[in-house]
Amino acid sequence: MKSSIHPKEYRPVVFSDEAAGFAFLTQSTAPTDETIKWEDGNEYPLVKIHISSASHPYFTGEEKIIDTEGRVDRFKNKFAKAEAHRKKLQEKAAKKAKQPKAKKTAKKDAKATEK
């Protein structure tokens, strides 16, 4: 194995997601000046991260929406309007389906009384 191609700073590092209160120890070359005392009593370099498996919506199953432009709200409103329009059309079709039957029977009754 070539010794000159591997990183020299590959060492144990603690990654900490402060928003979720979650930290884990792994190997990394990530540069940092901070350190932390880990559960095993040793001191390791600390890298602070914004999102981890403890705070990411995909892994937690929680819906967390970070939407600065309102795209999600616009989509939800558009979907709600489409659903309301679809229900109106279904109700209108149901009423229309009921009305012609009533008219046909009324016409038949009128024709029967004429004869």
By the 10 Å C-beta count (0-12 exposed, 13-18 middle, 19+ buried), 29 is classed as exposed
Average pLDDT over residues 49-64: 69
Instruction: Give 49 or 112, the one with higher predicted confidence.
Output: 49
DSSP code of residue 19: T
Instruction: Give 55 or 87, the one with higher predicted confidence.
Output: 87
**Position 107 in a domain:** no
**Position 20 in a domain:** yes
Which residue range is the domain that position 17 belongs to?
A: 11-98
Average pLDDT of the residues of the chain: 81
pLDDT band at 89 (very low <50, low <70, confident <90, very high): very high
- The pLDDT score that the predictor gives to residue 98 is 83
**Position 16 in a domain:** yes
Instruction: Give 90 or 51, the one with higher predicted confidence.
Output: 90
User: What's the total number of domains in the chain?
Assistant: 1
**Position 50 in a domain:** yes
**Position 111 in a domain:** no
**Position 2 in a domain:** no
**Position 108 in a domain:** no
**Position 63 in a domain:** yes
